[in-house]
Amino acid sequence: MLLTVSGPPGSGKSTTAAALADEFGIEHVSGGDIFRSLADERGYSLAEFNELAEEDDQIDRDLDRRLQTIARERDDIVLESRLSGWLAADEADVRIWLDAPLHVRAVRIADREDKSVEQAKRETEEREASERERYLDYYDIDIADLSIYDLSINTARWDEATVFDLLVESVEGYDTASDEGKLQITADYEF
């Protein structure tokens, strides 16, 4: 089984992906963790490293290549990143998109990163705009196109436990033999 969990910052991707991995006894691979560790290794804050990635496209391309390789070569994982649904392409069994309104996500980010809500909101808007441009430029991916996702959930509408239960029930109910609607995605990106 290969599940992908995608969404903007503060939507609950990491928490949900980790919980799904635990529930199904599979590995959780986080693009955000990989990106943050690369920033730490090079002595940059996340915001600084994101800015550097705007100038050095190889940072994103290396990360995305690694995520795509994991999707192609490994089984029984929850792959979590903004582009995991796109990068996993046809390898994914279930593609999940999580979202929440910006003001809700800013509060969540401010709480976890110990910063003001205003700062979290500003940084999140800047980050999302930057990533949107880069994905279009690099791969011709419109991150706002949710048509590839099997499930899209506004995590501000339900509590964490209910979101988790909805996803578990959906994944448990997935049967490849009766799947008539799997969207075919070609992932021939140049890294």
**9: annotated binding-site residue?**
yes
- What DSSP assignment string belongs to 11-50? SSHHHHHHHHHHHHT-EEEEHHHHHHHHHHHTT--HHHHH
- Is position 32 annotated in a ligand binding site? no
What one-character DSSP code corresponds to residue 115? S
Residue 12 among known ligand-binding residues:
yes
Q: Is 31 annotated as a binding-site member?
A: no
User: Which among 104, 107, 116, 90 has a CA at the least distance from the CA of 157?
Assistant: 104
Residue 176 marked as a ligand binder:
no
User: Distances from the Cα of 55 to the Cαs of 59, 109, 128, 134, in angstroms?
Assistant: 9, 25, 16, 10
Q: Are strands 2-6 and 27-30 parallel, antiparallel or unpaired?
A: unpaired
Tell me if 181 is assigned to a ligand binding site. Answer: no
Q: Does 101 carry a binding-site annotation?
A: no
- Consult the annotation and say whether 14 binds a ligand: yes
The two tokens of residue 32 are: 């955000």
Q: Please give the Cα distance from 72 to 165 (Å, whole number).
A: 28
186 is in an annotated binding site: no
Annotated binding site: 7-15
Annotated binding site for ATP: 7-15
